[in-house]
Chains A and B, each alone.
Chain A
Amino acid sequence: MDKCIACGLCAQKCPKKVDDDYNAGMSQRKAIYLKYSQTVPLKYAIDGEHCLYTAKGKCRACEKFCPTGAINFTDTGAVVTVNVGAVILAPGYQAFDPSGIAPYGYGRIPDVVTGLEYERLLSASGPNQGHLLRPSDHKEPKRIAWVQCVGSRCTHTGANGYCSTVCCMYAVKQAVVTAEHTHGDGLNQTIFFMDLRSHNKEFERYVESARSNGVRFIRSRPHTILPGKNNIGVRLAYVTEDGGRTEEDFDMAVLSVGLEAPPDALELAHKFGIDLDRYNFARTSSFTPVTTNRDGIYVCGAFQSPKAIPRSVTEASAAATEAAKALLPARGTLAREKTYPPERKTTGEELRLGVFVCSCGINIAGVVDVEAVADYARTLPHVVCVENNLFTCSTDTQVLIAARIEEFNLNRIVVAACTPRTHEPLFQDTLREAGLNAYLLEMANIRNQNAWVHQKDPAFATLKAKDQVRMAVAKVCRDYPLASMSVPVVQKALVIGGGVAGMTAALDLADQGYPTVLVEKSDKLGGAAWHLNTTWKCEDVRAWLGRLISRVDNHPSIQVLKNARLKSVSGSVGNFASDLEVGGNPMNVAYGIAVLATGGAEYQPEEYRFGQDPRVMTHHQFDAELRERAAMVQQAGSAVFIQCVGSREPGRMYCSRVCCTHSVMSAMRLKELNPDMRVFVLYRDMRTYGQREDLYTRARELGVIFIRFDLENKPEVYQEGAALRIKVMDPILGRPLRLEADYLVLASAIVPHDQQELTELFKCGVNPDGFLNEAHPKLRPVDLTVDGLFAAGLCHHPKPLDEAVSQAKAAVSRAGVILAKAAMQLDAIKSEVTAACDGCALCLDVCPYRAIKLEEYGDNGHARRRIVTDKALCKGCGLCEATCPKEGVTVHGFTHDQLKAQVDAVLEALG
């Protein structure tokens, strides 16, 4: 494996073709293959099942042609024994196989594909290189239908009773992305759904924008898919909500298949001795969402329950926290630090530039003529090596860059690709591994700032890309090596908010030995969880909460500050300090990281006669009623729940995620107390995602009646005599119903607490709904945009208790990455005061990080003033440099000289 250079000669010579799993069997690969072009590790592998030599004993072509002798047919599988202290199970999921659902014709009708297959059809590395072509006749489809809940929310034909959680959103995404792949008019994307489940952050707005961009949503589950003429295209037969039978022709149909437990779930469970639920997902409790029944064995991701990427990533970090906690005494005993070769001295060398132009699949190459840009780069001064790569960020390209640096003795690198925000660290690392200083690199963002914005004008985009490359080349010529500095880390934590998320985070931090200060604004720990009776798994919340609070109160490493408020924040990651006001007394704390867990509250409705009639109450109030006056509730003849009160409407365009399950739980509780009670749930889309779907099914079995309404046609609540009545339009009967309610429960929205003061102190952002913004919605779901800050719980987005707990644990893991080290490396892009500074102090006011101070010094007996900058606080934003009228302060990596060179280069084109 060490010898393989991934040249691909073996695969070229291999005579055996096999269906490519990576492309869902829609294309072919060889029996010796790379899983995909960016695979890690980037090494060809022999598929023993299909290789002619291993299967039939002859061929060995790859061995003959391999230039490095990397192929060894005598190699055999070996059993390796490793000693570990803990295990994290993350085997993922398998996509549901719809061949068993005969009426959908999957496998018989070529133009019926699964969601995953469609994903490959759209992908630049897919079977058609990103050109959307339907399987039957390889023509571009215009009318595409998505059929939701295939294999999910269904209890027959081998399907699963639970909701797979992700399919609604992936179908909407595919419908949206399809528009970028098709040409001309007549595009029709239709999604057939039962309930649209877009219950996560920013999803509701995403669906609305899809709707306004012409994606058609039809509430129906098609019963049959028929082949089109000559088995090309499809015909969908479905029943509309008013009962009308309809058939409609489409060019192709996508089955939004669900997620199933991995095929080896049973085997894994047996080997590790862990419990599974009835669907073969790992069983965990809401209070310890990643802990199995066996100590030292943790689970995360889709093996725990079907879920999308952010929750998988969050749980992964949470599992890491659990493992780290369990193995605390052994921390650092086996881990090793990454080492780099000594840095090459480049000062005094003549400039030798390498330029790498990325195609980014079709992201850039689809608009910009990358070949022309590469050719142009060759004509620029000092450029000695130019390459065009399909993905410059792929592992093989990193190897290539390192090889070119050595081969051409390059000392400056330009990467024309995407944004330095996400990819600069990767390329800097490549430079360091090749012995170059990381700061001898420039990136030209020809994707986000070019290909994405000039999609309609390829000629202009290509011209602009050349300008961008010329600018980067001009600047990199003036780049010089920079050394990063390291600062000590205060190995203490601050947690803001004493609810479930805050307390969980504080406990896990303290359990790992980090002294933690827990700040609570009220005089009581517990937060919103005090209002809840049970979790969706019927666990007693209040009893657990009591135990949690007593652990926090008694933990020697946690200092609980009640009635406390944060007054100031200074410093930066690893080194924060704050003034607090605790019960009127000032106090200050120093900490390396902070977890923001300020929680949320129930929206107090203004609609549906709330506040005017005592029978109208919110979920929190009704939970208290069930808790304290169950005997009285039992007497009620009827109860009505109204969903989405204050959620999913203009002004609060998000789903509060927990209310559907909460109403179903309460409705079932009522039926349990009094089976004769008439219980109605008025909803817009039932969003009992994951295994919560079982509750919805059970509630209907118990006789709870669910009636759907539209946003435009909300239920009306009025009083008639003493009776509380609700009028609602039943979409199936097509006529209004009048219900009487002894209890009217409003499933009101979750709103964040006002966080303006806090976000201003920490300079972190919130979304339009007032929830904290994460650094990346998929891959960094608990990190905030400011380094060293993490979010957990309702302040980030509405979520049930188990998800708040795993998010808090995840925040601890992410924080642990910083706190585990006594010192941390800082970026080398910092401001520096030059001799031209005369202490005018203009820059002091503009510095957003308060990194600049004024000092006086003596110069030949004259008292003079100048500024000094604090390197640890400075973020290199450049405001001081831009403000200074006399070049008295400069930022390394963005000096006047470097920026002027860039500006001169762009003006060159104008003559």
Chain B
Amino acid sequence: MIVIHVLTLAQEIGVHRNTIRNWVKTGRISAKPGPGKGLQFTPDDFARLCRDFNLAPEQLKTMARTLPGGDVPPLATPASPLAPRGQDRPGKMVGAVMVVGGGIAGIQAALDLADSGYYVYLVEKSPGIGGKMSQLDKTYPTNDCAM
């Protein structure tokens, strides 16, 4: 367990200490209050905290106390959380992107990526792409045909 003083964390994130307490209460930060004005984090929760608030884990660790029950784990670079871990291609980044939604935004993102050297999975729930724009008649301000 890692213990960080609530004030330290408030300063690091740049909010009021009560905000931190509220976040703990509402579950936005998962931690256990105590001892004293400290907050207890499991190593996993600590890693998530650093990632969510863009904090430097090494620096934060210097301000933390460690209770029996676990040490601060080294953080994996979170650049591609969905890259397959272990098995088939260990540690290798995947040059593919999934675009969820085949409307005009999804199509444009998919085209740009495919044109710049990435494989794209364009995922659309209906049988055809085009989204809401395909239902429009004309577009403003040029009155061009939306189709």
Q: Show the binding face of A for B, using Cβ within 8 Å.
A: 22, 24, 33-36, 38-41, 43, 45, 82-93, 95, 116, 119-120, 122-126, 169-170, 172-173, 176-177, 201-203, 205-206, 268, 293-297, 300-303, 309, 312-313, 315-317, 319-321, 323-324, 326-327, 329-336, 360-361, 363, 391, 777-779, 813-814, 816-817, 820
Q: A33-B127, A116-B132, A125-B147 are in contact. List 13 more A-B contacts (CB 8 A).
A: A39-B128, A83-B94, A84-B94, A87-B97, A88-B97, A119-B136, A122-B138, A295-B80, A296-B81, A316-B106, A316-B112, A317-B112, A334-B119
In the complex the two chains form, is B83's CB within 8 Å of A85's CB? Answer: yes
- The CA-CA distance from A293 to B131 in the complex, in Å, is 26
In the complex the two chains form, is A816's CB within 8 Å of B95's CB? Answer: no
Is B25 in the interface zone, CB < 8 Å from A? no
Which residues of the other chain, A, contact B140 by a CB distance below 8 angstroms? 169-170, 172-173, 203, 206
Choice from B97, B114, B130, B143 contacting A84 with Cβ under 8 Å: B97
With A84-B97, A173-B138, A173-B140 known as contacts, the answer to whether A813 contacts B116 (CB < 8 A) is yes
Is B55 in the interface zone, CB < 8 Å from A? no
Chain B residue with the shortest CB-CB distance to A205: B141
Which residues of the other chain, A, contact B144 by a CB distance below 8 angstroms? 778
Choice from B113, B121, B126, B137 contacting A320 with Cβ under 8 Å: B113
- The CA-CA distance from A233 to B58 in the complex, in Å, is 69
Which residues of the other chain, A, contact B80 by a CB distance below 8 angstroms? 85-86, 295-296, 326-327
Minimum CB–CB distance from B128 to chain A (whole Å) comes to 3
Is B117 in the interface zone, CB < 8 Å from A? yes
Q: Residue-by-residue, is B104-124 near A (CB-CB < 8 Å gives 1, otherwise 0)?
A: 111111001111111101000
- The CA-CA distance from A40 to B83 in the complex, in Å, is 29
Which residues of the other chain, A, contact B82 by a CB distance below 8 angstroms? 83-87, 296
Is B29 in the interface zone, CB < 8 Å from A? no
In the complex the two chains form, is A320's CB within 8 Å of B94's CB? Answer: no
Chain B residue with the shortest CB-CB distance to A293: B52
- The CA-CA distance from A336 to B131 in the complex, in Å, is 26
In the complex the two chains form, is A317's CB within 8 Å of B98's CB? Answer: no
The 9 A-B residue pairs with the shortest CB-CB distance, nearest first, are A301-B105, A330-B95, A39-B128, A45-B127, A334-B119, A316-B108, A35-B128, A90-B106, A90-B101
Q: List 20 A-B contacts (CB under 8 A).
A: A36-B134, A38-B147, A43-B127, A45-B127, A84-B98, A294-B51, A295-B81, A296-B78, A296-B79, A296-B81, A297-B81, A313-B108, A320-B108, A320-B116, A323-B113, A327-B95, A334-B94, A334-B95, A335-B95, A814-B112
Minimum CB–CB distance from B55 to chain A (whole Å) comes to 13
- The CA-CA distance from A813 to B115 in the complex, in Å, is 10
Which residues of the other chain, A, contact B129 by a CB distance below 8 angstroms? 39-40
With A87-B98, A93-B132, A363-B145 known as contacts, the answer to whether A177 contacts B118 (CB < 8 A) is no
With A84-B82, A87-B100, A323-B97 known as contacts, the answer to whether A24 contacts B105 (CB < 8 A) is no
Chain A residue with the shortest CB-CB distance to B93: A330
Using a CB-CB cutoff of 8 Å, which residues 50-109 of chain B contact chain A? 51-52, 78-84, 89, 92-101, 103-109
With A85-B95, A88-B98 known as contacts, the answer to whether A335 contacts B114 (CB < 8 A) is yes
Choice from A34, A323, A336 contacting B128 with Cβ under 8 Å: A34
A-B contact count (CB 8 A): 235
Choice from A177, A295, A391, A814 contacting B78 with Cβ under 8 Å: A295
- The CA-CA distance from A124 to B147 in the complex, in Å, is 10
Minimum CB–CB distance from B134 to chain A (whole Å) comes to 6
In the complex the two chains form, is B105's CB within 8 Å of A778's CB? Answer: no
Is B26 in the interface zone, CB < 8 Å from A? no
- The CA-CA distance from A312 to B105 in the complex, in Å, is 5
Which residues of the other chain, B, contact A296 by a CB distance below 8 angstroms? 78-82
Is B13 in the interface zone, CB < 8 Å from A? no
Which residues of the other chain, B, contact A360 by a CB distance below 8 angstroms? 145
- The CA-CA distance from A201 to B133 in the complex, in Å, is 19
- The CA-CA distance from A300 to B108 in the complex, in Å, is 10
Minimum CB–CB distance from A566 to chain B (whole Å) comes to 27
Minimum CB–CB distance from B101 to chain A (whole Å) comes to 4
- The CA-CA distance from A336 to B96 in the complex, in Å, is 11
Minimum CB–CB distance from A316 to chain B (whole Å) comes to 4
In the complex the two chains form, is A302's CB within 8 Å of B105's CB? Answer: yes
Is B19 in the interface zone, CB < 8 Å from A? no
In the complex the two chains form, is B109's CB within 8 Å of A317's CB? Answer: yes
With A120-B135, A295-B81 known as contacts, the answer to whether A203 contacts B97 (CB < 8 A) is no
Which residues of the other chain, A, contact B94 by a CB distance below 8 angstroms? 83-85, 327, 330, 333-334
**Among B126, B136, B140, B142: residue with most chain A CB under 10 A:** B140
Chain A residue with the shortest CB-CB distance to B134: A36
In the complex the two chains form, is B95's CB within 8 Å of A126's CB? Answer: no
Minimum CB–CB distance from A259 to chain B (whole Å) comes to 9
With A173-B138, A177-B137 known as contacts, the answer to whether A327 contacts B97 (CB < 8 A) is yes
Which residues of the other chain, A, contact B117 by a CB distance below 8 angstroms? 331-332, 335, 820
Which residues of the other chain, B, contact A125 by a CB distance below 8 angstroms? 147
In the complex the two chains form, is B96's CB within 8 Å of A83's CB? Answer: yes
- The CA-CA distance from A257 to B134 in the complex, in Å, is 18
- The CA-CA distance from A83 to B88 in the complex, in Å, is 11
With A85-B94, A316-B112, A820-B115 known as contacts, the answer to whether A778 contacts B139 (CB < 8 A) is yes
In the complex the two chains form, is A309's CB within 8 Å of B100's CB? Answer: no
Which residues of the other chain, B, contact A34 by a CB distance below 8 angstroms? 127-128
In the complex the two chains form, is A85's CB within 8 Å of B96's CB? Answer: yes
In the complex the two chains form, is B105's CB within 8 Å of A315's CB? Answer: yes
In the complex the two chains form, is B101's CB within 8 Å of A817's CB? Answer: no
Which residues of the other chain, B, contact A327 by a CB distance below 8 angstroms? 80, 93-95, 97, 118
Minimum CB–CB distance from B146 to chain A (whole Å) comes to 8
In the complex the two chains form, is A294's CB within 8 Å of B81's CB? Answer: yes
- The CA-CA distance from A126 to B145 in the complex, in Å, is 13
Chain B residue with the shortest CB-CB distance to A324: B116
Which residues of the other chain, B, contact A88 by a CB distance below 8 angstroms? 97-100, 106, 109
In the complex the two chains form, is B93's CB within 8 Å of A313's CB? Answer: no
With A85-B94, A317-B109, A334-B119 known as contacts, the answer to whether A268 contacts B136 (CB < 8 A) is no
- The CA-CA distance from A444 to B17 in the complex, in Å, is 70
- The CA-CA distance from A355 to B26 in the complex, in Å, is 67
Which residues of the other chain, B, contact A334 by a CB distance below 8 angstroms? 94-96, 118-119
Minimum CB–CB distance from B94 to chain A (whole Å) comes to 4
Which residues of the other chain, B, contact A36 by a CB distance below 8 angstroms? 128, 130, 134-135
Minimum CB–CB distance from A126 to chain B (whole Å) comes to 7
- The CA-CA distance from A394 to B29 in the complex, in Å, is 51
**Among A91, A116, A329: residue with most chain B CB under 10 A:** A91
Choice from A85, A116, A309, A363 contacting B97 with Cβ under 8 Å: A85
- The CA-CA distance from A317 to B131 in the complex, in Å, is 17
- The CA-CA distance from A603 to B137 in the complex, in Å, is 38
In the complex the two chains form, is A300's CB within 8 Å of B109's CB? Answer: yes
- The CA-CA distance from A259 to B82 in the complex, in Å, is 31
Which residues of the other chain, A, contact B115 by a CB distance below 8 angstroms? 817, 820
With A85-B97, A206-B140, A326-B79 known as contacts, the answer to whether A817 contacts B105 (CB < 8 A) is no
- The CA-CA distance from A24 to B132 in the complex, in Å, is 11
Minimum CB–CB distance from B135 to chain A (whole Å) comes to 6
Minimum CB–CB distance from A149 to chain B (whole Å) comes to 18
- The CA-CA distance from A814 to B116 in the complex, in Å, is 9
- The CA-CA distance from A448 to B135 in the complex, in Å, is 22
Chain A residue with the shortest CB-CB distance to B96: A84
- The CA-CA distance from A642 to B103 in the complex, in Å, is 40
